[in-house]
Amino acid sequence: MAVETVRRSEERDFYAVLGAEPSATAAELRAAFREAVLRHHPDRSPANSMATRRTAILNRAWTELRDPLRRLHYDRDLERGTATTLAWPLEPDEVASAPSRRYRPTPLPERPSRWHQPQWRSVAGFRVPAEVFMAGPAAQNAWIIDNLIAGQDWREHKERYWLRYAAGYYRERGRSDDWLGALERLIELDATFDTLVNVDPRSAYTATGDLLRGVGFLRQIGERYQPGSAPRRWLDRELRAMLGEFRDQRVRRGPADDRAESAELLLNYLEALEMEPGFADVRAAIMAHRRAGHLARALELVERAVATPITEPARWFSLVQLLTEAGQLDRASALLAAIARGDHPEALIRRRIAGDPVRRIATARQRLARARERQARARSAG
């Protein structure tokens, strides 16, 4: 009776199966695979079934290691000691080799990193104690204010995250000067356009009423950028908007003398910024001076508006309105008649004036008629 031979095998990693080192190049690995296949190919020993099994194992190992990405993952598994092994069949009289090569990383000495500080957490750029961080946003804000903001002077800080946080703290407590000061210092320290836009200085100056301060500051910041550039155009729009806010708050409202003084400030700032005063600016200035009794100055502004070349067709109707409100009814009537006759044909083109010219003429006539009635009542009462 034949005695059945006990099948023996040993676990080998993919490199050991091919007979190559993990440091082998792709060419060396390919050469090792070809040599192993030739050595164990079934054609060399047709009667030996073990050759077929070994060839199948060689193909599996080569399939894994020939792909660079899969080989990389396998190498990492080797280093961690978790790499897959294959059962390599042994001849009955073959002696097992050394244990399978399974790499394990050398443990690093346990040295605490100076960057690892579990007792602190980061909030808005500040370091807060871990227990405060776990207590939630309200506790975090209270701790930052009590320990890092309150009692500090923004003039002594250059940290942009500190200035941002402090500006919000000052705004909530109505400290206008400190609020604007922190924002201005932040903009001066951070020259990026994104910061300028995100800070939204116009809203701060409008809320505090320091519009002319904002105009002066933004005019200075505008020197960073080339004329005609996108940031410069944005700043020009912000300046114009702030001057419009100043006009609505100070020139159109308040005591008569204060309004007249503010009107002069508005015109001076526009001239310094090399901006042409708009119709609303000139109109508000004329009305402010008329209310203050400065008729000569009001007349001077009217003549200045009349002498300004008109580049937009709709401005003809604006000029009629300005003359009407300034009390120069005859001039307003004569200009309106010239428009109706077609002396200024561009003012009669609906597309050019973005409206109906007939309706605009009718509205101007009604306004003139009411002004004449008021003028007549004033004369009869005088």
Last residue of a domain, one of 302, 321, 341: 302
In this structure, the answer to whether residues 217 and 290 fall within a common structural domain is yes
Neighbours of 338 (CB within 10 A): 14
* Per-residue model confidence as pLDDT tens digits over 314-369: 889 989 998 988 888 999 999 999 999 999 999 899 998 888 999 999 999 999 99
- Indicate whether 251 and 319 sit together in one domain: no
pLDDT in tens, 37-89: 888 777 665 556 778 888 888 899 899 999 988 998 898 888 888 888 888 88
Q: Is residue 281 part of a domain?
A: yes
- Which structural domain, as residue segments, surrounds residue 291? 213-302
Looking at every residue in the chain, the average pLDDT score rounds to 87
Same domain, 293 and 235: yes
Identify the CATH number of the domain in which residue 76 sits. Answer: 1.10.287.110
- Specify if 261 maps to a domain: yes
Question: Which tokens belong to 35?
Answer: 């040599």
Query: Domain check: are 292 and 325 in the same one?
Result: no
Q: Do 325 and 286 reside in the same domain of the chain? A: no
pLDDT confidence bin for 288, thresholds 50/70/90:
very high
Please indicate, yes or no, if residue 206 is contained in any of the structural domains. no
Residue-level pLDDT at 140: 94
Whether 237 and 296 share a structural domain: yes
Q: Assess if residue 118 is contained within a domain.
A: no
With respect to residue 108, please indicate whether it lies within any of the assigned structural domains.
no
Give how far Cα 221 sits from Cα of 16, 163, 236, Å.
70, 18, 11
Same-domain pairing of 337 and 265 = no
Average pLDDT estimate for 155-167: 94
Which among 302, 321, 339 is the end of a domain?
Answer: 302
Q: Indicate whether 169 belongs to any domain.
A: no
Cα torsion angle, 155, 159, 162, 166, sign: positive
Lowest mean per-residue pLDDT among 115-119, 196-200, 250-254, 276-280: 115-119
Residue 205 lies in a domain: no
**pLDDT for residue 188:** 93
Does residue 298 belong to any structural domain of this protein? yes
Residue 111 binned pLDDT confidence (cut-offs 50, 70, 90): low
Q: Is residue 3 scored above 50 in pLDDT?
A: no
More confident residue, 4 or 282: 282
Same-domain pairing of 337 and 364: yes
pLDDT-derived band at 2, boundaries 50, 70, 90? very low
- Give yes or no for a contact between 157 and 163, defined as CB atoms under 8 angstroms apart: yes
Total number of domains in the chain: 3
For residues 294 and 222, membership in a common domain is answered with: yes
Same domain, 282 and 332: no
| For range 113-131, the mean pLDDT | 84
**Residue 363 sits in the same domain as residue 296:** no
Q: Among 250, 278, 302, where does a domain finish?
A: 302
Assign 139 a pLDDT band (cuts: 50, 70, 90): very high
Are 17 and 67 in the same domain?
Answer: yes
Of all residues in the chain, the percent with pLDDT exceeding 90 is 51
Indicate whether 116 pLDDT > 80: no
Average pLDDT in the 23-49 region? Answer: 80
